[in-house]
Amino acid sequence: GIAYTAVAAQSCAVIWIAVSGSLSDALGRLLRGRKNKGQYKNMAKMRSSILLFQMILGAVGSLVLAGLSGVLADRIFRIPYSGLILLALAPVVLLRTVSAVLAGYFQGEGSESPRAIAGILRQVFLLGFGSLFSHMLGGYGEKVSSLLRQENFTGMYSGLGIALAIDISELFVILFLGLIYKGSRRFEKRAK
């Protein structure tokens, strides 16, 4: 199961790095430069444009990963049981891209706390949901394995539980960062 999950996670990481590897740092520097020059309207336009562009790019990356999941698993890595895990991890490219844009916004404002808290929350959610879903789906995989008399399904479904935990954890991180972003935008509008 670990091998199936590792292959899928590495493939997902390569696509995500290609789509938005150091986006939060670059966006943070750009926004900080605009803020220092007093170009607030330009900052708002740049934030929304980058978010839209990165969401489109992340969606394309997720679709490419989902479309290539079978080919990557079967032909390139020769581990066919990782295909389903890779398909479940495909949305992470889009989700991590959105969270990277939000983290870049906070870096541009000079606040590292939301990004640091989001990193801790991501790990806590992953640990909790990963244990829960891996156990639940691993039990289902055991039943499938005993029914089909192949032991590979137990590891595959446990890895699928980890992939779903990563997806849900990232959704919660985006929700956390989005709430803080909305609050800071409201405060920013009142200050002007």
55's CB contacts (< 8 A; 6+ apart) are 94, 97, 98, 101
**What number is the average pLDDT over the span 125-137?**
89
d(CA 108, CA 120): 20
Highest mean pLDDT among 38-42, 47-51, 83-87, 170-174: 170-174
d(CA 160, CA 11): 15
Q: What does the pLDDT look like over 46-67, one tens digit per residue?
A: 778 888 888 898 899 899 988 8
B/e letters for 3-20, b = 16+ CB within 10 Å, e = fewer, are ebbebbbebbeebbeebb
What does DSSP assign to residue 109?
A: T
| Full-model pTM | 0.82
pLDDT at residue 128 greater than cutoff 70: yes
Highest mean pLDDT among 30-34, 53-57, 188-192: 53-57
d(CA 132, CA 79): 25
The candidate with the shortest Cα–Cα distance to 72, out of 11, 159, 152, is: 11
The candidate with the shortest Cα–Cα distance to 5, out of 118, 92, 64, is: 92
The pLDDT assigned to 123 comes to 93
d(CA 96, CA 18): 12
The residue type of 69 is: S
Q: What does the pLDDT look like over 5-31, one tens digit per residue?
A: 787 888 888 888 888 877 777 777 877
